Amino acid sequence: MLHNRSEAARADAEFHLHPYSNPRQVESQGPMVIVRGEGVRVFDEHGKGYIEGMAGLWCASLGFSEDRLVEAAHRQMQTLPWYHSFAGRVPDVVAQLAAELMDWAPVPMSKVLFANSGSESNDAAWKIVHYINNVRGRPEKKKFIARDRAYHGTTAVASALSGIGAGKAVFDLPIGGVIRVSCPHYYQYAAPGESEAAYCDRLVAEVEEAIEREGAETIAAFIAEPVTGGGGVVIPPPGYYPRIQEILRRNDILFIADEVISGFGRLGEPFGTQVFGLKPDIITVAKMLSAAYAPISALYLSEAIVETLKEGADRVGTFGHGYTYSGHPVSAAVALETLRIYREDKIIDRARQAGSRLQAGLRRFADHPLVGDVRGIGLIGAIELAEDPVTRTPFAPERAVYAHVLARAQAHGLILRGIPGDIIAFSPPLIISDAEVDEMLAIVGVALDETLDLVRGKRSA
C-alpha cells in the first residue's frame, strides 16, 4: 500500500502530526488527501468526489466554492492584509464586523471580543468570568458547571471544560474547578420506564444538588452547547433549559452558551439561544461565522460583564487580554461577507427547509434493524446504532460497527462523522439542495444495509 501513495500522502504520513488522529494509524494507512471543493462536495487526490455530510467540522456552511468569500479575502489582502486592535487602534473592517454582529445578537449584548477559534473564545470566556468575580470582590466564586460529553475545544481551559477528549489525563487535564453534571441524553441515560419529564426532573435536581453541595458562592458559571455536538448530537428534554436557567438566576451563576456549532443557522434559527429561549450572559461563536473560509471567533458579552471589565481596567489600567490576530482583518472581511450572504440569500431559511427534509429522511431509518435512535434539529442530526434497538443495548465498542457505516458511506461518496457510542453525525453545509439531501440519505440507506449484512455475517469488511 505504501508504494501506491502519492508524494503528498507519503510526506504527510511522515512529517505531519495530525490533530485528533492516531499517529500510527495515519502513518500506516496514509492520509486521505483532499485537493479541492465545489458546492457541498470535496474531491480527493484521485478525483473522487464526496458530499461533505459534516460540512467538514460542522463549519463549511456555504460549501467549498463561494466566490464572494474569495473576493472579500482578496480585496482585504490588497487593502490592509493585517493590522491589530491593541491600544485603541482598529482595522475598519473589524469595526464594521463588530457592529454587524451586534445586529445579529439573539439577546441584548454590549460588546464583542474577537479571537481565532472556538477553543480560544471559550478560554477567554473562562478568563473573563474569573476576572469579573475578582473585580466584584468575590474571589471564591470561580467554579464552572460543565456537562458530561460537552465539547468546548482543546486549549487547556477548553479541554478542562469538555466532558470528552481522548486521553485528557495524559495532558494533566482537567484543571480544577469544574463541576461535572450529566449529559441530557434521554435515549441513553433514562432509567428503564422513566418518562422524559421524570428524566428532566432528575437532571434539574442534579444541578440543584451540585450547587447545594459546592455552595453557590463558589460557582461562577454554567457552560453548555445548546445542542451537544461532538458528544453525540444531544438535544435536552423539553423544559430543561428554562428550569436550569431559573436555578442559575436564583444562584447568581452566569450562563455561557457555546454556540460555536449552532451559531448562524445550524439549528434552523440564527442561534440556539433563540431555539431554546436562552438568556446567556456570554455567547461564544466561531465556525460558520466565516463559513470556515478564514479563522475567526467571537464572544458576545453582556452589559453587566462589560461594565465590570471597565471597572477592572480602571484599577489595573488595561484589559490585559488579546492575541496578535484578535480580529484579523482578512478573517473579518470574510466573516462580514459571510453574514451578508446569509441575509441576502436567506441561507437560514434555506437551512430550515433543508433541515426539515433531512430530519424526515433520517427518521425513516428509525425502523432499520441496526438503528436504536434517530434525532436532530435543523441541519444537525444523528443516528445511534444498537445491537438490540428494543432494549437499547449498544454494540460492543470493539466491534466499531459505526466505523463500517462510515467506511461504506465514504466508499459511496459521502463523508460523515462517527462518535463513540455508535453514533453517526450529520451536519451538512447550509446550502445543501433538496436533491443533495436525498442523495446523502440514499447513500446512508445503502451503507446501513451493507453494514447489516456484515453484522449478520453475509459480507466481509
Ligand X SMILES: Cc1ncc(COP(=O)(O)O)c(C=O)c1O
Site residues (vs ligand X, CB under 6 A): 57, 117-119, 122, 151-153, 225, 229-230, 258, 260-261, 286
Answer for the pair 407, 294: CB distance below 8 angstroms, yes or no. Answer: no
Which residue, 56 or 63, has its beta carbon nearer to ligand X?
56
Cβ neighbors of 174 (< 8 A, separation 6 or more) are 159, 160, 161, 168
Which residue, 69 or 443, has its beta carbon nearer to ligand X?
69
- Residue 20 CB, shortest distance to ligand X, in Å, is 9
Answer for the pair 219, 179: CB distance below 8 angstroms, yes or no. Answer: yes
Please give the Cα distance from 14 to 379 (Å, whole number): 37
Residue 395 φ then ψ, to 5°: -70, 150
Pairing of strands 49-52, 414-415: parallel
Which residue, 85 or 119, has its beta carbon nearer to ligand X?
119
User: Which residue shows C-alpha cell 452566569?
Assistant: 254
Half-sphere exposure of 368 (CA within 13 A, CB side): 24
Which residue, 258 or 422, has its beta carbon nearer to ligand X?
258
Residue nearest to ligand X (CB): 118
- Residue 231 CB, shortest distance to ligand X, in Å, is 9
Answer for the pair 236, 187: CB distance below 8 angstroms, yes or no. Answer: no
Which residue, 286 or 358, has its beta carbon nearer to ligand X?
286
Please give the Cα distance from 37 to 44 (Å, whole number): 9
- Residue 452 CB, shortest distance to ligand X, in Å, is 30
- Residue 272 CB, shortest distance to ligand X, in Å, is 10
- Residue 298 CB, shortest distance to ligand X, in Å, is 12
- Residue 19 CB, shortest distance to ligand X, in Å, is 9
- Residue 189 CB, shortest distance to ligand X, in Å, is 20
- Residue 455 CB, shortest distance to ligand X, in Å, is 30
Please give the Cα distance from 188 to 234 (Å, whole number): 10
- Residue 4 CB, shortest distance to ligand X, in Å, is 32
Pairing of strands 143-147, 34-38: unpaired
Which residue, 93 or 234, has its beta carbon nearer to ligand X?
234
Cα distances (angstroms) measured from residue 212 to each of 130, 202, 215, 216, 247: 21, 15, 5, 7, 11
- Residue 121 CB, shortest distance to ligand X, in Å, is 8
Which residue, 57 or 400, has its beta carbon nearer to ligand X?
57
Nearest residue to 421 (alpha-carbon basis) of 387, 377, 380, 461: 387
CB atoms within 10 A of CB 397: 11
Which residue, 153 or 232, has its beta carbon nearer to ligand X?
153
Which residue, 151 or 240, has its beta carbon nearer to ligand X?
151
Cα distances (angstroms) measured from residue 432 to each of 354, 356, 365: 7, 12, 20
Which residue, 269 or 450, has its beta carbon nearer to ligand X?
269
Cα distances (angstroms) measured from residue 301 to each of 106, 128, 137, 222, 442: 12, 10, 20, 15, 43
